Amino acid sequence: MQQTNVKTEERNPRTVDIDLLEAGQIVRLIQSEDFRVPPRLADCGVSDAVARAAAVVAHQLKAGGRLIYAGAGTSGRLAMLDAAEIPPTYGFPADRIAVCLAGGPGAFMQSKEGAEDDRAAGKAAVSDLGVGAGDVLIGVAASGRTPYTIGAVEEARTRGAATVAITSNPGSELGAVAAVAIEVDTGPEVIAGSTRMKAGTAQKLILNTVSTTAMILGGRVYSNLMAGVKPANAKLRQRAAGIVAQATGRDGEEVREALRESGWDLILAILMLKKMVCLAEACRLLEAAGGDLRTALGERERLSGDQLGGGRPGAARRAPAWGGVPGITGAAGLDPVQLNFMRQLLDQAVVEGDIPGAVAAVGTIGGVEFLHVTGHASLRPTVEPMREDTLFDLASLTKVVATTPVAMVFLERGLFRLDDPVAMFLPDFAGDGGEGESQPAGVPEQRRKVRIRHLLTHTSGLPAFERYYKEGLDREAILRRARTAPLVFEPGTQVLYSDLGFMVLEQILEKIGVGRLDQLAHDLVFGPLGMKDTGFCPGPDRAGRAAATEYRADLGRYMKGEVHDENALAMGGVSGHAGLFSTCADLVLYARTLLSDLRGWPVLPSLLSPATVRAMIRPQTPGPNDARGLGWAARGTELSSGGDLLSSSAFGHTGFTGTSLWIDPETGIFAVLLTNRVHLGRENERILRLRPRFHNAIAAAARRSRSTP
């Protein structure tokens, strides 16, 4: 990827002729530029990216991995400074932190400018450290195009490590190759190209925030006290005593005695004093709590939901979408060799023009074990790299992420039965067709046979789709036409995948719930589960990070942040068959919730009962290649997007834009694959082979699964 516009190297019009100013004027001008940096860190989702990076670092370190930094010049020195400060500040083992600095350690004091151009050297440095899947590497480069740093991130990614990029140039090559990209536009420097200034300030703030947040998440902070500090000198011992005293409210002598007995381990000393236990019992409590002091003290449960991010009861205990969940032991144990095959498969699909880009995640109830971001969210009219938080038009995944779960919630509440006639809720469904023409004899009776179950299993007899949008109809007119459309076969006799069926189902749900589908889905599904990026009709902020879809000649533009489906667009963006937007992280959370509900494990906020999930995914149609549950598709014997190797209990769904979600209860794994394949034109159908091959690789990777508690 060639980066043509490097903002950090542009000339700053505000500082032209700065060399003609007096000292005071120069200082004030520099300060005015520096003041522009902090607000930028909160712009364009930068703070969200920093949070994701910190969560990834904390997750890898908790699992026993290492934190590796990579950089060159000023960026590398700032990374080295952050690495050097973590062990004394938080007591984190120094042997689990390393830095790949272009030119070697000597480049910290003496610049070795040519070293940054050596991409192979960056790869070699990572290889020499033996970086692996349990580690996390943070690549720092103001320009985002430093070959050494890019090489280091590429090598780390190839080896299965988690990767983070920090750069001051959005859309950079470095950001594109990392799993999490923190890209903050700091603009041109006071002195053109001197990235030790504004860009350096941003890097220092971001590095501080990422490492500090990771240490907090890792339990090395109690309240706002440095409980993990290792007091190696008199000054630090005095500070340690003050920290323990503030944390426990005990006097000086008790504090010093506890510190001496614990070997100057502040966490153990706090635990001993607050729980009034001996050292051995404190060690036992801490080990049982997984090293988390708050849990060992029994204080984490007492924090309110508002303190931990709000939500309904139980939400505070939920781990982040990318992280692990307390109480689950044994991850899927995905084969690292197979993970590389999956990466290569997706990368090659981008290279060969099958898809513009992709975000893919594979994991279990416990969290994500494979995450890969590749290619571009947009190629035209502008080039935008794919990102971990790219928003996707889910197309027909709407049916199973919004419409079906709302229906299942209503089913559990006793508001309808699956075998209730559609006409019970929509009387004109069995009427004269709504066009002023009487239907042929026997047709109303045939339509009265259509049940809600038929709508969910695509056996209603309704047509697959109609191009209502070409008639200039509004939402209400389209819905009326859908519910009065002629049947094309006897209900229940065959499977015909039908958008119209879910448009009719939407109307039933809206009548039962006395509200529009988008609000029902938010109130009953997305809100309770914390799916903050999922919804219909994304606003400007969310739409700005959406993957581009197809070019609409009638509108004269590529669709981006607007629903691709023409009927859904004509309906204002909200329909039971299409219109939903979401991110990989939110779909991961949804998949984990379904697995958790299915197995009855109370480790995530529940959406449905195990009985409901079992009914929803149980095949209810006899066709060999059209095995359907309620909303979901079951894995057929052939032609299934779920491939050939997932178990017979697997269920999933796809979206026309290039999205898919598959879940295998037998192995306990899920797979999210989000692409924007229609950006290359709807005639591009290579996704039809890519999906099953990807899922075959996943099934093979999970052969060592041990996902039981």
Residue 687: closest CA among 458, 339, 352: 352
- From residue 652, give the alpha-carbon distance in Å to each of 408, 618, 632, 673: 16, 12, 6, 11
Q: Six-digit token pair at 663?
A: 């879940």
Separation CA 171–CA 179 (nearest Å): 14
Q: Six-digit token pair at 191?
A: 């002195």
- Tell me the residue type at 691: R
- With beta carbons less than 8 A apart as the criterion, state whether 454 and 490 touch: no
Q: Give me the active site residues, please.
A: 85, 116
Separation CA 361–CA 661 (nearest Å): 10
Element (H, E) at 307: none
- DSSP secondary structure string, 412-479? HTTS--TTSBGGGT-GGGGSS-SSS-PPPTTHHHHHHT-BHHHHHHT-S---S---GGGGT--HHHHH
Q: Six-digit token pair at 135?
A: 């580690």
Helix (H, G, I), strand (E, B), or coil: what is residue 5?
Answer: coil
- Tell me the residue type at 379: L
- Tell me the residue type at 117: D
Neighbouring residues of 74: CB distance < 8 A, sequence distance ≥ 6: 142, 195, 196, 199, 200, 203
Q: Which residues pair with residue 558 across a beta bridge?
A: 551
Residue 417's CB is within 10 A of a number of other CB atoms, namely 12
- Continuous H helices in 463-533: 475-483, 499-513, 517-521, 527-529
Residue 164: closest CA among 9, 391, 388: 388
Q: Six-digit token pair at 359?
A: 């975000």
- With beta carbons less than 8 A apart as the criterion, state whether 600 and 591 touch: no
- With beta carbons less than 8 A apart as the criterion, state whether 91 and 228 touch: yes
Q: Six-digit token pair at 184?
A: 């903050």
To the nearest 10°, the Cα dihedral for 194, 197, 198, 203?
100
- Continuous H helices in 262-335: 266-275, 279-288, 293-297
Residue 356: closest CA among 694, 662, 696, 690: 690
Helix (H, G, I), strand (E, B), or coil: what is residue 618?
Answer: coil
Neighbouring residues of 648: CB distance < 8 A, sequence distance ≥ 6: 634, 635, 666
Separation CA 683–CA 213 (nearest Å): 46
Q: Six-digit token pair at 619?
A: 């095949």
**What phi and psi values does residue 138 have, to the nearest 5 degrees?**
-110, 115
Residue 418: closest CA among 470, 381, 457: 457
Residue 521 is given by DSSP the state H
Chain centroid, CA 545 distance in Å: 13
- With beta carbons less than 8 A apart as the criterion, state whether 452 and 406 touch: no
- From residue 708, give the alpha-carbon distance in Å to each of 133, 364, 368, 384, 428: 22, 10, 15, 40, 50
Separation CA 564–CA 670 (nearest Å): 26
- From residue 121, give the alpha-carbon distance in Å to each of 109, 165, 382: 19, 18, 32
Separation CA 54–CA 322 (nearest Å): 11
